[in-house]
Each structure stands twice: as structure tokens, then as C-alpha cells.
Amino acid sequence: MESTRKQLIELLEKQEGYISGQQLSDSLQISRTAVWKHMNELKKDGYEIEAVQRKGYKIVSYPDKISTNTLQWGLDTKWMGQNLYHYDQVESTQQIVHEMAKQGMPHGTVVVADEQVRGKGRMARNWHSPKGKGIWMSILLRPNLPPIQAPQLTLMAATVLAKMISEESDLKPQIKWPNDLLVHHKKVSGILTEMQAEHDQIQYVVLGIGMNVNQDLSEIQQEISHKASSLKIESGSHWSIPKTIQSILRQFEITYDQYVKEGFQQVKKEWERYGYKIGEEVTISTMKKTWEATLIGIEPDGALKARDRSGNEEKLYSAEIHWGEGGYHA
């Protein structure tokens, strides 16, 4: 039943224009009546399907409602999100995936929530996760890597989100080191990577993605409204959350598999392509000094590389960067 519906959506998606009931019934090896019944179930789940006599069926619009079904149907990945759980409200999806990891759940397990009441940012900061307005999800990864390479996964995830936004819209996303996703200088997404490691080997990683999708301006919390935004505000149109989650999962799988096969080089290239202020001069302050430097790129250990006016290069791990006009401090 489940897999028939999944195949049905895949056939509808692949077809440009209409696909006939007969073709569907032949491909799925079910009766025309069964096809019709499945169509009704899809409509109940929020798919808008047009049925035209002698032409067949076509998906007109995708559901806005998130459910395990709407997320998994049409998700043509091999491992990413094939084990997926959706909740209405949670404290934090991170915490749930940590539990699942300890119970032995597989690589690529995904937890998505409509709302988080205790969403976490880095360094015990809060992450606002209002109901139905964004993507609040955590992914379980079991990479065969030493812990020292974990920052590469965060950098990789940032490129995944940037690529997804570029592909799905005319927006020009940028990645602000280490991992803020900006559109028009404002943060639309953040990544939180938490790792469990033993004996120089990563046991598992919980990679959390928070993305502001459909908030209007008035729905962005006042204290962050100068530096945060949503895809809807910046693009001027509503985004389907299930479709956007699927695009992220699809892009993530492709990029991750390539990273495992070919290493960090491609991630570095992509990251630098989207990198905020890469090639530009900023002011940097550390405990010891404050200086002007040009940002030149990232290093395999996740550091940001900068060159001062005398040509000396330095690797930055946690310096304060004055991002200048429109930017803000991490």
C-alpha cells in the first residue's frame, strides 16, 4: 500500500502533463478502481490532483501539511530520510535523534517537527522554531571519519542548503563562516552539529537544520528581526515545506556521497563559491590584536583563512569578525 502510493507519486512527478489511468494501472499492476482510490487518499493528504477525461491525471500542487507520508512519498533517495519521523511538537529534534542513535537507528534517519519549544542553537543559544513556519529537522549520520573531520560535515551541510535555495528560487544565498545561511545579509538558516566519538572514530553525528521558511516580517521575533529573515520574506512567495524538505534531503544525499567518495576538495570549492565576504576585507579581533584582513577561504579543519595587509596568512578558529554594513557578530 505504502510503496504503491510512493510509486504512484513518482510516476505522476515524472510525467510532464497528464498520465492516463490505464498507464498508471499497467505500471503499478493494480486496477483502475484501485488507482482512483489511491488518488482520493492523496487528495486527503493535501495533494491537489487534476483529473481530465481521456487525458488522465496530473499533480497541480503539493501538500503544505507535513506528515511522515507527505515527506516520504516522492522522496527518491537511497538512504537519506528513508527512515523518517514527523512530530507535531517537540522540545528539540536534536534530543530525539540522540536517543534514536543510541538505540541503533540507521544512518540517514531523519526527525522533523512542526514546532520546537526548546530549539537549540550553538553554544546553548536558543533557536526560535515557530509552528508550521519553518524546517526544524535533525539528521542522524554515521560517517566513517575521525572526529577531527566533523567540521567538514557542517560546512558540507551549509553548501547543501545554499544549493537548494539557488535551485528552487532566484535568491542568491551566502554562507557566513562557519555556517549561517544568509539571504540579503540576513540569516535564514542555521546548522548545529553534535557528535559522539570514541577512540578517534565518530560514533554518530546529529546534524540539525533550522530554516525559516514561511514567516512574514511580523512573525520574526523582534529581538532578531534586524538580522534574521525567512525564504518567504526574501523571495516574496510562499514555499511548500514538504517539498523543500525533500529537496534538502535529495541534495544532501548527493553531496554527502560525493564527499565520502572524493573528499573535502569539492565541498571547499562550493563553500567558497557561496562564502560571504570571501575575497573582501574585514576587521578581525582576537584576544591579542585587531587587524584588517582579506578572507580567502576555508581549511580542511574548518578554519577560516585570512591574509593581512602584509601578506601573512592566518587560520582563524573563533576570532570575532566585524562583518561590516548589514552583517552582524555571530
Nearer to ligand BTX, 120 or 268 (CB): 120
* Phi/psi at 85 (5° precision): -130, 135
The minimum distance between CB 129 and ligand BTX, in angstroms, equals 6
Q: Count the Cβ atoms, other than its own, within 10 Å of residue 307.
A: 15
Query: Distance (Å, rounded) from C-alpha 319 to C-alpha 180?
Result: 16
Does position 137 bind ligand BTX by CB under 6 A? yes
Does position 34 bind ligand BTX by CB under 6 A? no
Query: Distance (Å, rounded) from C-alpha 124 to C-alpha 120?
Result: 6
Question: Judged by CB under 6 A, which stretch of 117-125, 240-248, 286-294, 318-326 contacts ligand BTX?
Answer: 117-125
The minimum distance between CB 29 and ligand BTX, in angstroms, equals 40
The minimum distance between CB 238 and ligand BTX, in angstroms, equals 18
Q: 85: which residues sit within 8 A by CB, 6+ positions away? A: 68, 96, 109, 110, 111, 112
Site string for ligand BTX, 172-191 (x = CB under 6 A): --------x------x--xx
Among 70, 72, 109, 116, binds ligand BTX (CB under 6 A): 116
Whether 232 contacts 184, CB under 8 Å: no
Does position 305 bind ligand BTX by CB under 6 A? no
- Identify the sign of the CA torsion 230, 236, 241, 243: negative
Residues in 254-283 that interact with ligand BTX by CB under 6 A: none
The minimum distance between CB 128 and ligand BTX, in angstroms, equals 4
Residues in 72-101 that interact with ligand BTX by CB under 6 A: 92-94
| 116 is an annotated ligand-binding site residue | yes
Nearer to ligand BTX, 56 or 190 (CB): 190
| 221 is an annotated ligand-binding site residue | no
**C-alpha of 125 from chain center:** 20
The minimum distance between CB 87 and ligand BTX, in angstroms, equals 12
* Phi/psi at 102 (5° precision): -65, -30
Long-range Cβ pairs for the range 224-233 (8 Å, 24+):
224/128, 226/328, 227/186, 227/187, 227/328, 228/186, 228/187, 228/188, 229/183, 229/184, 229/186, 229/187, 229/188, 230/133, 230/134, 230/188, 231/165, 231/169, 231/171, 231/183, 231/188
Among 57, 127, 274, 323, binds ligand BTX (CB under 6 A): 127
Residues in 210-229 that interact with ligand BTX by CB under 6 A: 210, 212, 224, 228
Give the three cell numbers for residue 160. Answer: 547543501
Whether 210 contacts 136, CB under 8 Å: yes
The minimum distance between CB 88 and ligand BTX, in angstroms, equals 15
Number of residues that bind ligand BTX (CB under 6 A): 27
Between CA 197 and CA 205, with CA 200 as vertex, the angle to 5 degrees is 30
Does position 232 bind ligand BTX by CB under 6 A? no
Does position 126 bind ligand BTX by CB under 6 A? yes
The minimum distance between CB 83 and ligand BTX, in angstroms, equals 17
Detail the residues annotated as belonging to a binding site for biotin: 116, 187
Binding positions for ligand BTX, rule: CB under 6 A: 92-94, 116, 119-122, 125-129, 136-138, 180, 187, 190-192, 208-210, 212, 224, 228
